[in-house]
Amino acid sequence: MKSSVNVIIVLSLSVLIGACSGHKPVATDSSLTAKPKTAKRVERPVFYLPPPGQWTVQDVLTTYGKNVMGRLDHYFAKANVAYPPREIALIALKQEKKLELWARDSGEFRFIRDYFILAASGDAGPKLRQGDRQVPEGIYRITQLNPNSHYYLSMKINYPNEYDLLHAEQEGRTHVGSDIFIHGKDASIGCLAVGDAAIRELFVLTAQTGIQNVKVVIAPHDPRRYPLLPNSEDAPVWTPELYSLITREIETLSQKSRTYNIGQSRQSTGYNNRDLKMN
């Protein structure tokens, strides 16, 4: 009996051993046993701002360009002028403490908006010499954009221009001054200070338009209200001629525009002190 049981056990083990040895190894899924792959690290560009004093004009455009376009687009659309325009003109009125922005594509100049002039030292009358603290009067161009100004941002005008130099030479005046800017903040020594928010818009717009396409007209007051006349007996003899040129230039810029309202309140378009403090 025992021998029969032993035979059965031996035969059973033989079958089992044969069955195990006859099977091919089961293929394993490498995806289950392999180590998970590490995802590649994607290097994303980091927005870098250089330290103060090392900005470029492009840095200003990169930082503020989109915001400025969003702020100005409404004004340009209302005036039916593309943004940025082909040309712009800035009319600075010393007595009114106002800086008007005009622009055009292919047609006439159209009024876009105006800004407060927060500071403009001196009185009515042209600038004659270094240190007289006068804001120049005349027809000028923008020659340089300074993204590292002590007054936040600034735009240099070409005073003294050919007209200024001609009369200085005729009168024997030297050291007529230079470095006249439209800039931020609210202090002025012969310059036009319009505050940080305003100069940010004007700086970006000028850069996008091209400084060669920007004109600046500076007048003692608005000649569309009443005539420009010398305010002193000591004014240079050529002052009436200068004022005639300024008047003609301003009237040429604005006479065809239907959007300019001579009685318009600056409060409706100019920045106020709250805007300045916020920026």
Domain of 84 in residue numbering reads as 57-258+267-278
Number of structural domains in the chain: 1
**Angle in degrees, CA 50, 53, 56, rounded to 5:** 60
Least confident range from 78-87, 189-198, 261-270: namely: 261-270
- Categorize the per-residue pLDDT at 152 as very low, low, confident or very high, splitting at 50, 70 and 90: very high
For residue 237, is it within any domain? yes
Task: Please report the pLDDT score of residue 168 as a whole number.
Answer: 97
For residue 215, is it within any domain? yes
Task: Please report the pLDDT score of residue 105 as a whole number.
Answer: 93
Task: Please report the pLDDT score of residue 174 as a whole number.
Answer: 94
Q: What is the pLDDT of residues 89-102, one digit of tens each?
A: 999 999 999 999 99
- Categorize the per-residue pLDDT at 51 as very low, low, confident or very high, splitting at 50, 70 and 90: confident
- Between residues 42 and 226, which one has the greater pLDDT? 226
Q: At 143, list the tokens.
A: 């020659």
The whole-angstrom distance between residue 11's C-alpha and the CA centroid of its chain comes to 96
CATH number of the CATH domain containing 182: 2.40.440.10
For residue 129, is it within any domain? yes
Percent with pLDDT over 70 in the chain: 74
CA distances from 87 to 8, 84, 200 (A): 108, 9, 18
Residue 232 has pLDDT above 90, yes or no: no
For residue 184, is it within any domain? yes
Residue 110 has pLDDT above 80, yes or no: yes
Dist. CA 208–CA 97, nearest whole Å: 26
For residue 102, is it within any domain? yes
Task: Please report the pLDDT score of residue 47 as a whole number.
Answer: 55
For residue 140, is it within any domain? yes
For residue 210, is it within any domain? yes
For residue 165, is it within any domain? yes
Q: Considering the entire predicted model, what is its pTM?
A: 0.77
Residue 75 has pLDDT above 90, yes or no: yes
What's the start-to-end Cα distance of the chain, in Å? Answer: 107
CB environment 85-123: b (16+ within 10 A), e (fewer): bebbbbbbbbebbbbbbbbbeeeebbbbbbbbbbbbbbe
